[in-house]
A = this chain, B = another copy of it.
Amino acid sequence: MTLRVGIIGAGPSGMAQLRAFESARQNGAEIPHIMCFEKQDDWGGQWNSSWRTGLDAHGEPIHSSMYRHLWSNGPKECLEFSDYSFDEHFGRAISSFPPREVLFEYIKGRVEKSDVRKYVQFQTAARWVSYNELTQEFTLTVEDLPTGSTSEHIFDKLVVSTGHFSFPAAPEFTGINSFPGEVLHAHDFRGAERFAGKNILLIGSSYSAEDIGMQSHKMGAASVTFSYRSAPMGFDWPENTVERPLVTHFDANTAHFSDGSSGDFDAVVLCTGYQHKYPFLPSDLALKSKNVLYPANLYKGVVWQQNTNLFYLGAQDQYYTFNMFDAQAWFARDVMTGAVELPSLEAREADIERWLGLQAALLDHNAEADFQSEYLRELIAATDYPPFDLAAVSQLFKDWMGHKATDILGYRDMSHRSVVTGTLAAKHHTRWLNAMDDSLQRYLQG
């Protein structure tokens, strides 16, 4: 019987899985019976963003955490598909840090060239999965959101590609329930225009805090205050931007910090990260992890240890994104079809342990970039995914981090060189700080 493969989520990872099978088909292979379920009305995952917050038009949790004026925060050269370059898509060199719509266009471009959209049922949410040990089959119940009608589908292999930056992790703070201003998690941030002239407090010290803070600065916030739990970001911030240790409590609109200082704020944005959450999975199949480069319990970061018919894509914290999802999807495909043979449970466990050991020893961001490059190297070597110069990409990450350290408002104006085509990125017509129209149309104008 033809293998039946179910894919949950058509973000970049789910799209990579579709593309992996399509690539095999083009190379003459017989491909499985594939069904992909996507709760939104288009593919693209995080890149398909919405003005809505909280719950969507069907009452489902809003998936995308993206917002107006979001630009890539890493160089596009670090995420380029090795089988579909930016040059191929845009027909000319573009800048290194494109805004959301431009990257959305790029990832759609690749899959729209092949006939894979037919596999996807949109506006269809995965509701519940059960696994029958005897028949080794998954039963996936999905809901067609416009009609509310539920149905069951049987699969031999199941791919979970639902992302892990959608369910906020939001701590409690004493007094926050009577803070009179706006309190929101980064997940519900949609633009900083309304923060003009305001004093903004951001709790957290990672990418969301950094970017929402600088978006607020760009849009004219009176002041930006970051509050960190572990360590300050330490960038060379613009004036009226400060870092403080963690909030201990709120008293009306005043936040008190653990160093005894305090400040009055108009709005609080909780940039405190996200939870891995798979509400459609029984607990024995659900990944539990912090946002780390190597979650435990996944062989090669992809295959569920206790049930090798189950696959996770994109479950890692991400230096690499699109090209990593590709490498994982090609690997998952080859495990499913048997082209890659899985070692024993013990051998897999030992491999996971080795990676976890390496991860535990990582000292800084540079080492992390190298670590994820090594991980990709191993994955790519195992399949026919077109290899690319991972050492060069690792260097791009380091250059980028250097630029951020030098100029946090200007790093997105720098140009990097593609390792796929050798093209040096174009200089963009407008500096990030001055760009007030983030549309694809404006971006592509000369």
Contact = CB atoms under 8 A, between A and B. Distances in A.
Interface of A: 50-55, 57-59, 61-62, 68, 125, 127-128, 141, 143, 147-150, 167-168, 170-172, 176-185, 187-188, 190-191, 193-194, 266, 275, 277, 279, 282-283, 286, 288
Nearest to A266: B194
A127 B128 CA distance: 8
Contacts of A54: 53-55, 61-62, 168, 184-185, 187-188
Contacts of A288: 148
A150 B55 contact: no
A141 B128 contact: yes
A37 B51 CA distance: 33
A188 B61 CA distance: 13
B282 A53 contact: no
What's the number of copies of this chain in the assembled complex?
Answer: 2
Given A61-B61, A168-B59, A170-B57, A51 B279 contact: no
A189 to B, nearest CB: 11
Contacts of A51: 176-179, 183
B185 A150 contact: no
Contacts of A277: 59
Given A54-B187, A127-B128, 14 more contacts: A51-B179, A54-B55, A54-B168, A54-B184, A55-B167, A57-B172, A58-B275, A59-B277, A61-B61, A141-B282, A148-B288, A150-B282, A150-B283, A181-B193
Contacts of A143: 279, 283
A275 B179 contact: no
A272 to B, nearest CB: 11
19 contacts: A51-B177, A53-B54, A53-B183, A53-B184, A53-B188, A55-B167, A57-B172, A59-B167, A59-B168, A141-B282, A143-B279, A148-B283, A148-B288, A180-B193, A181-B193, A181-B194, A182-B182, A183-B190, A194-B266
Contacts of A55: 54, 61, 167-168, 185, 187
Contacts of A188: 53-54
B127 A170 contact: no
A419 to B, nearest CB: 35
A257 B185 CA distance: 32
A190 B141 CA distance: 35
Nearest to A171: B57
A282 B190 CA distance: 34
